[in-house]
Amino acid sequence: GAVVSQHPSWVICKSGTSVKIECRSLDFQATTMFWYRQFPKQSLMLMATSNEGSKATYEQGVEKDKFLINHASLTLSTLTVTSAHPEDSSFYICSARDLVKADTQYFGPGTRLTVL
């Protein structure tokens, strides 16, 4: 089956620094990629939807200047958490929608961010 990778799988950073998370679709092209955040014992909350070559669409309450999303190609999207603070510590999961099989969305393994 299709694979979505994320890098890094975990990261620990100091408060105030920025962290970039990569999401790649490995064997398919994805016009649309999604970023989710999951706090412990909670569900996945959609943060934003990104389409290749255009600006991301952010969900209500998500700060676009804090969570920068770039979707430069059909196989790569990045999420940068700028000036991270302890409350940004979470599990970040990306997913990619297959260009051909439009109703199929594949999820990455997630990135655990811990901000000290």
Partner 1 sequence: SQQGEEDPQALSIQEGENATMNCSYKTSINNLQWYRQNSGRGLVHLILIRSNEREKHSGRLRVTLDTSKKSSSLLITASRAADTASYFCATDVQGAQKLVFGQGTRLTINP
List interacting residues with partner 1 (CB under 8 A). 32, 34, 36, 41-46, 49, 59-60, 91, 93, 95, 97, 103-110, 112
CB of residue 40 to partner 1, shortest distance in Å: 9
CB 51 within 8 A of CB 32: yes
CB of residue 109 to partner 1, shortest distance in Å: 4
Residues with Cβ within 8 Å of residue 38, at least 6 apart in sequence: 44, 45, 90, 91, 92, 93, 110
Q: Which two tokens stand for residue 91?
A: 């599990």
CB 103 within 8 A of CB 13: no
CB of residue 106 to partner 1, shortest distance in Å: 8
Which residue number, 36 or 67, has a Cβ lying nearer to partner 1? 36
Which residue number, 13 or 44, has a Cβ lying nearer to partner 1? 44
